[in-house]
Amino acid sequence: MHVKDDLFAIKTNTEGKELIQHIAAHKLRTIVIATHAALSTDAVRLALMNNVDIVFLKSDGHPLGRVWHCKMGSTTKIRKQQLVVSLNAKGLEWTKTWLTTKLNNQIEHLKDLRKHRTETYGELIDQKCNSIDNMRQSIAMLTGNNTNQIADSARGYEGTAGRYYWDTLSTLLTEQYKFDGRSMRPAKDQFNAFLNYAYGILYSKVEKVLIIAGIDPYVGFMHRDDYNQKSMVFDFIEPYRIYAERVVFKLFAAKKVNKAHTIQITNGLSLNKEGKVLLVEAFTEHLETETIRYKGKNQTRFNAMQFDAHNFAQQLLTEEVDVV
């Protein structure tokens, strides 16, 4: 990638044929580097000048690093309030909201799948939805002075709901695609390989909306503040995991995935170039092209996440909290 006439010029070579595509900077939001690529310094400079972040992904889709402008674009008061709220009951309420929304999304996904599988799987899906809803209600009823007091219980209910959810999705797939629960780093099967990569892309998107809104990605409410862990990204992503899950399930349900999309690695599977292209194209369309009705407006799912991040930041600013 280089620059010509103030446009990004992207040169690719496929089967010995060289192609060059020119794209205006204002049409890009993010440049994702997933495989071997070369960027000129002019291309990096043009991206920085137009608030286009450059994200480098590891082989499993998780962000390795990013190049972005050095301006925070917000008041430091947001991050001060974020730290205070992380230690009190308000942080607990935010955590419960994100987790219960995540479980609601799982239920809605299964109900949508039920519409075309009533005769064979209708009763099973209803039972699983009820079980997940019981876990959702259990999380909603948790009380305490801060998130640390309920973290273990919340993770237990969330994990139980997840087992109901993933078992059901596996059951609904054809035999060649079935999987045995979640597996990460490495994935044990194709479904988890695709899902892990999609989550990795989503992590980078969530980190971006948080930074734009002035939220510190490292100060979380429920996830531990381990060294270099972006705890708030892991917290805030929960309601939006459904974006990745719907795209991946749809690819498998439509039988668009085959063995040629993954490669064997030590103790598992990973996506190859063809698999990454298939997923990235479908996920990008889902996130940044398709529109949904949200807050009374038609907007992309990425814009909806950005709206929620700004709303979160605004509520932190207006929240009257006592320093602990």
Higher pLDDT, 267 or 229: 267
Both structure tokens of 212? 């734009």
pLDDT at 321: 46
Pairwise CA distance, residues 52 & 44, whole Å: 9
Pairwise CA distance, residues 103 & 136, whole Å: 6
Which residue has 């999987």 as its token pair?
179
Cα three-residue angle 149-150-154, rounded to 5 degrees: 160
- Percentages of the chain per state (helix, strand, coil), in multiples of 5: 55, 15, 30
Burial 269-308 (b: 16+ CB within 10 A, else e): bbbeeebbebbbebbbebbeeeeeeeeeeeebbbbbbbbb
Q: Name all domains of the chain by residue range, CATH numbers in brackets.
A: 2-57 (no CATH), 76-318 (1.20.120.920)
pLDDT tens sequence across 50-83: 778 787 777 666 667 777 666 555 578 888 999 9
**Position 324 confidence tier, pLDDT thresholds 50, 70, 90:** very low
Record the pTM. Answer: 0.82
In the chain, which ranges are E strands? 2-4, 7-14, 17-24, 30-33, 53-57, 63-67, 262-265, 268-271, 291-294, 297-300
pLDDT tens sequence across 119-166: 889 999 999 999 999 999 999 999 998 888 899 999 999 999 999 999
